[in-house]
Structure 1
């Protein structure tokens, strides 16, 4: 039996050290403050690994990112490996979070993902060019008709065993997602990390990206200034210091043909080093 080298640092200690160290009817974009909505996240217990044959992942929703509140349920938890093959992951559900064990059989970069998961359906209305969820008793402007809107979320993270690779970085072409132009395992503090924001495989311009740096033991994480994607859907994040970071974008689209209105959320967890 081969000997697997384990990280001697327990997860709780590892977190405490790296955390201080994250307008038409057809389509409209809206970003909500994480403090006002539960944010989805995946949190692996390591991002850059040596010889480990697996990584353990926490999946949850939270009002304070990386403090689990609601266990994330999905029928499509999987990883995409260096061979670009999707491997289903079996979740173990607890009350506040889900635990996944993802195999890392070979060197390279792996994409961990919840897949697209459908959440609640609620009333929404296009008000002054922005889609908003509306309470049943809320008065609406004249001519504004609410529709049923389906929430769709996807949370992802990347881990690398040994030498980084690019195969797992290829976008799925479905829903909202970030294409990493700077390798996620090579993001450095004080240096720009470039991404491309995509929706159904096409660049999504003028969309907001919210970024937080996790602060273990603090009442609030540190929020970076809002970033907006450019005309090519590209945006750059510059982390001020090493640590654990969380980036998220929400995008809402109205009824298109037979497709219902949808509220998409994409979230990426990544680590920044010196």
Structure 2
């Protein structure tokens, strides 16, 4: 599983505000179901793990949890439980259409050389607090901003279109992200700050990696319109992830912004 862990390290590095964890792990939300014919409740596991969709490392912190109903209103989670290796919560899904369940973060991290000792120092924080972590006499200071989104989708009845967010990396589906089936082609669009995210590599990994000798992931690239397509080889839960970096920072003195996106999608037989 070294390939998955090394790649996940790059993704996890942008989730610095989520938890003080080792970066060689996958961060994910796993719903108990993604398609319901009528009003129901979906249970969601939230974890950071060594193996995809297996809660065997640490819970995913939920300070940035946002649940959006089909009409755009906010939904409060229910029955939250904080466990040793995962967090769990329920989402009441009553409105017809597609729900967006996401953990969002905006963080920053800094590195510098201590003037007195010459040792390298590091700190993490939020865009608002990172400056306070850096000593006034620090040398060779480097500040990096991060923006991450981890999400999944649930539909009740007929799917509805996802409303664009316009910030960071986000997935926009030509169809429904919950209407996926084995052997069928699905088309998506990836946006960055509301504009097409061009020429980015998207990695798609099937779950249950702990039972396979081979990772069974594949990669596709977005075109000039930010579009890409996936033909699903088998049924099951999949993890889709992508990352990039640019210089469009909003944190004072930060020269680089690291962005990441990860989604859990269910593919039916």
- TM exceeds 0.5? yes
SS of match in other structure, 2:234: coil
- Structure scoring higher RCO (CA < 8 A, sep ≥ 6) equals 1
Q: Is the 8 A contact 2:203 2:218 kept in 1?
A: yes
Shift of 1:206: 1.0
Q: Which moved more, 1:264-273 or 1:215-224?
A: 215-224
Work out the number of aligned pairs and report it: 223
SS of match in other structure, 2:178: helix
Q: Is the 8 A contact 2:39 2:93 kept in 1?
A: yes
Superposed, 1:195-234 pairs within 5 Å as: 195-215=188-208, 218-219=211-212, 222-234=215-227
Are 1:97 and 2:86 matched, yes or no?
A: yes
SS of match in other structure, 2:46: strand
SS of match in other structure, 1:205: coil
2:8 alignment partner in structure 1: 34
2:69 pairs with one of 81, 84, 92: 81
1:188 pairs with one of 163, 169, 181: 181
State the TM-score, normalized to the length of structure 2. 0.73
Q: Which runs of 5+ in 2 are unaligned?
A: 1-5, 11-23, 113-119, 122-139
1:121 alignment partner in structure 2: 109
Superposed, 1:39-54 pairs within 5 Å as: 39-54=26-41
Shift of 1:267: 0.6
Whole-Å separation in 2 of the counterparts to 1:255 and 1:48: 37
State the TM-score, normalized to the length of structure 1. 0.72
Q: Which runs of 5+ in 1 are unaligned?
A: 1-31, 125-135, 138-144
Alignment RMSD (CA, Å): 2.7
Whole-Å separation in 1 of the counterparts to 2:9 and 2:205: 12
Shift of 1:52: 4.6
Question: Which aligned segments of 4 or more residues in structure 1 are displaced greater than 4 angstroms?
Answer: none
SS of match in other structure, 2:230: strand
Superposed, 1:142-153 pairs within 5 Å as: 147-153=142-148
Whole-Å separation in 2 of the counterparts to 1:257 and 1:35: 24
Q: Is the 8 A contact 2:51 2:209 kept in 1?
A: no
Shift of 1:157: 0.7
1:155 alignment partner in structure 2: 150
Change (3 A) 1:80 1:220: farther
